[in-house]
């Protein structure tokens, strides 16, 4: 029987950035002209002189930069680019085209929607790149409606009207640093993943177990639950009331249910008469034809492999069970499977990463099919597994030559062996009131067989991955800003 661990002590987070001293707007600037005039610095500002000589289009300049104390400083300015220095010491160079395209002034950004305005692309209609006249870091600027305590980068254009922009372009330094030096994505942070086996996960179950009342009333506990899904691939919520309404309440704390061929939202898993592909069924409750509605054992698999975008999270709320009669739930970490294949069978790993597999769903009203690799990696980093997609029950028939078949089935045997390795199978006896929420792009699930007379009954549904990611990002941002309201 699964029992919720005692409430974990709230984690402490020192996430508030220190306030940066503000000063009056700096009127001095870095000029991309042959002469640089220095004016009296406002109180609290500092002069940066770096002695950099630039030579472009016949110009020879010695630049002096007036700035406020800020996390980003200007290192060099030319007619077609600006080099800035980030707190990390990195020195990215920003082209005039990039700067013009990313202007954050109220004329380029609609701050009621945070969408770009048409003016933001006006410069592309002119020939040639925009020309920079000067660059300044100031404490604030009237054309940037969003307050930024770190300061504002102000870029004056030599040909503003020609490129569809009246006045300077402005960039909040906090915004600029976030774009140039992005932090880890809190929703899918690969650095917090904890690949597990049955033994290691059994000892970590208390970390992944939460109480229903805490999750539905506390944003901090909800975030910890979502972080467990991010790190382990799943979470357990105990003492969930045995009603469909309670399932809805719990899941609505994350996002709304996704509609699929199985239901508009909430679905139920119990033994039902199976509807045939022709639409006929035994007398009784008609249902979408799927092995899940039988009492048969199910090998570890992921759901909806035949969708272009399979549901991200899957929810199982146990309403009734009979552990003595079978029906135990099985979880397998797909990331662990991929890790083991890459370490022990690299050719098989690469085969399933590069070879599309056909998955389908067919009944009287639906014909879904997708061709996707089993192992999907990040586009920007192929060493990171982004998703694991496999369902032996939904593999579609595909014609193969004898040579292709030999290779396919050789690698399929290795894949099935890795998925079904006993050391990687976590078996759970879910009892009434326990809700299992897991990442369907990572964790494979299954069950042992059970008697058709078993009272085993689950309700649940699917939640889109982007909705889950959105929720955890928002909650992480609120945690960092000190927001505690639930």
CATH topology of domain 190-481: Double-stranded beta-helix (3.60.130)
Q: What's residue 120's pLDDT?
A: 65
Does pLDDT of 163 surpass 80? Answer: no
Nearest to 438 by CA among 190, 199, 163, 232: 232
Pick from 263-267, 431-435, 479-483 the range whose average pLDDT is largest.
431-435
Q: Considering only residues 71 and 409, tell me which one the structure prediction assigns the higher pLDDT.
A: 409
- Range(s) within the chain of domains with CATH label 3.30.2020.30: 30-180
- Calculate the average pLDDT of the chain: 82
pLDDT in tens, 194-244: 999 999 999 999 999 999 999 999 999 999 999 999 999 999 999 999 999
pLDDT confidence tier of residue 45, bands split at 50, 70 and 90: very low
Q: Per this entry, what is the length of the chain?
A: 486
Provide the phi-psi class of 247: left if phi over 0, else alpha when psi is between -120 and 50, else beta.
Answer: alpha
Does pLDDT of 18 surpass 90? Answer: no
Structure tokens at 2: 């699964």
Pick from 2-6, 263-267, 420-424 the range whose average pLDDT is largest.
420-424
Does pLDDT of 98 surpass 60? Answer: yes
Does pLDDT of 286 surpass 60? Answer: no
Q: What's residue 27's pLDDT?
A: 35
Does pLDDT of 399 surpass 50? Answer: yes
pLDDT confidence tier of residue 262, bands split at 50, 70 and 90: confident
Alpha-carbon gap, residue 439 to 311, rounded angstroms: 9
- Please state which architecture CATH assigns to domain 30-180: 2-Layer Sandwich (3.30)
Q: Considering only residues 13 and 115, tell me which one the structure prediction assigns the higher pLDDT.
A: 115
Alpha-carbon gap, residue 462 to 258, rounded angstroms: 5
Q: Considering only residues 180 and 26, tell me which one the structure prediction assigns the higher pLDDT.
A: 180
Percent of the residues in the chain that have a pLDDT greater than 70, as a whole number: 79
Q: What's residue 38's pLDDT?
A: 27
What integer is the mean pLDDT of 445-456?
Answer: 88
- Range(s) within the chain of domains with CATH label 3.60.130.10: 190-481
pLDDT confidence tier of residue 353, bands split at 50, 70 and 90: very high
pLDDT in tens, 330-340: 999 999 999 99
Phi, psi of 469 (to 5 degrees): -60, -40
Pick from 138-147, 333-342, 449-458 the range whose average pLDDT is largest.
333-342
pLDDT in tens, 173-201: 999 998 998 777 877 777 789 999 999 99
Does pLDDT of 74 surpass 90? Answer: yes
Structure tokens at 9: 């002590």
What integer is the mean pLDDT of 48-53?
Answer: 32
């Amino acid at each position: 029987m699964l029992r919720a661990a005692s409430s974990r002590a709230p984690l402490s987070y020192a996430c508030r950035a220190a306030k940066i001293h503000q000063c009056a707007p700096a009127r001095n600037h870095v000029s991309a002209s042959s002469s640089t005039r220095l004016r009296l610095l406002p109180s609290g500002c500092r002069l940066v002189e770096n002695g950099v000589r630039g030579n472009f289009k016949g110009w020879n300049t010695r630049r002096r930069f007036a700035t406020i104390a800020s996390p980003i400083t200007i290192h060099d300015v030319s007619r077609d680019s600006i080099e800035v220095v980030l707190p990390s010491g990195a020195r990215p160079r920003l082209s005039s085209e990039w700067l013009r395209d990313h202007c954050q002034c109220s004329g380029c950004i609609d701050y009621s929607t945070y969408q770009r305005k048409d003016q933001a692309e006006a410069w592309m209609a002119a020939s040639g790149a925009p020309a920079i006249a000067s660059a300044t870091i100031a404490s604030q600027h009237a054309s940037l409606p969003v307050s930024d305590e770190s300061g504002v980068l102000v870029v004056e254009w030599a040909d503003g009207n020609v490129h569809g922009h009246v006045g300077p372009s402005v960039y909040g330094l906090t915004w600029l640093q976030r774009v140039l030096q992005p932090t880890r994505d809190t929703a899918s942070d690969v650095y917090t993943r904890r690949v597990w086996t049955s033994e290691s996960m059994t000892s970590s179950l208390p970390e992944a177990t939460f109480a229903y009342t805490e999750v539905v009333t506390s944003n901090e506990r909800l975030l910890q639950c979502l972080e467990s899904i991010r790190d382990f691939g799943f979470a357990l919520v105990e003492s969930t009331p045995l009603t469909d309404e309670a399932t809805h309440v719990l899941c609505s704390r994350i996002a709304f249910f996704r509609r699929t061929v199985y239901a508009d939202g909430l679905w139920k898993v119990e033994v039902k008469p199976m509807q045939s592909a022709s639409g006929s069924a035994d007398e009784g409750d008609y249902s979408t034809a799927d092995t899940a509605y039988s009492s048969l054992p199910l090998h570890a698999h992921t759901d909806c492999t035949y969708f272009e975008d399979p549901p991200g999270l899957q929810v199982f709320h146990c309403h009734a069970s009979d552990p003595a009669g079978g029906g135990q739930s099985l979880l397998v970490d797909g990331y662990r499977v991929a890790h083991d294949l890459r370490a022990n069978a690299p050719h098989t790993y690469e085969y399933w990463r590069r070879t599309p597999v056909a998955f389908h769903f067919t009944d009287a009203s639906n014909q879904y099919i997708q061709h996707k690799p089993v192992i999907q990696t990040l586009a920007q980093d192929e060493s990171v597994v982004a998703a694991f997609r496999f369902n032996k029950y939904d593999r579609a028939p595909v014609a193969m030559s004898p040579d292709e078949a030999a290779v396919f089935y050789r690698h399929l045997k290795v894949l099935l062996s890795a998925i079904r390795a006993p050391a990687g199978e976590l078996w759970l006896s879910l009892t009434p009131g326990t809700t299992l929420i897991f990442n369907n792009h990572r964790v494979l699930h299954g069950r042992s067989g059970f008697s058709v007379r078993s009272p085993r009954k689950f309700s649940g549904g699917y939640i889109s991955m982007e909705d889950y990611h959105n929720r955890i990002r928002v909650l992480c941002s609120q945690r960092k800003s000190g927001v505690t309201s639930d």
